[in-house]
Structure 1
Amino acid sequence: MYRFLLTPRWLGILALTLVAAAVMVLLGNWQLDRYEQRTAVNERIDAGSRGTPAPLRDALAAPTGGAGSVGPAPAERVEWSRVTATGRYDAANVVLIRGRTVDSKVGFEVLAPLVLTDGTAVLVDRGWVPPAPGGAMAMPQVPALPTGEVTVVGRVHPTEPGGAGVDRRDGRLETRRVTVDKIARKLPYPVHGAYLLLDEQTPANDPAFRAVPIGHANNWQNFGYVIQWWLFAAMSLFGYGWVARREARRAAGLDAPKEPVDRAAEPATPA
Structure 2
Amino acid sequence: MTNSADVLIRNNVKVMGEGSKTLLLAHGFGCDQNMWRFLTPELAKHFTIVLFDYVGSGASDISQYNKSRYGQLEGYAEDVIDICDALQLTDAILVGHSVSSIIGAIAAIQKPELFSKLIMVCPSPCFLNFPPEYLGGFEKEDLQELLNLMDKNYIGWANYLAPLVMGTTHSDDLIGELSGSFCSTDPVIAKNFAEATFLSDYRHLLKQINQPSLILQSENDALAATAVGEFMASEIKHSELNIIAADGHCLHMTHPEAITRSIIEYVK
Q: TM-score under structure 2 normalisation?
A: 0.21
With CA pairs under 8 Å and 6+ residues apart, which has the higher RCO, 1 or 2? 1
Structure having the larger proportion of residues in helix: 2
Q: TM-score, normalised by structure 1?
A: 0.20
Quick check: which one's strand share is greater? 1
Q: Which has the larger radius of gyration?
A: 1
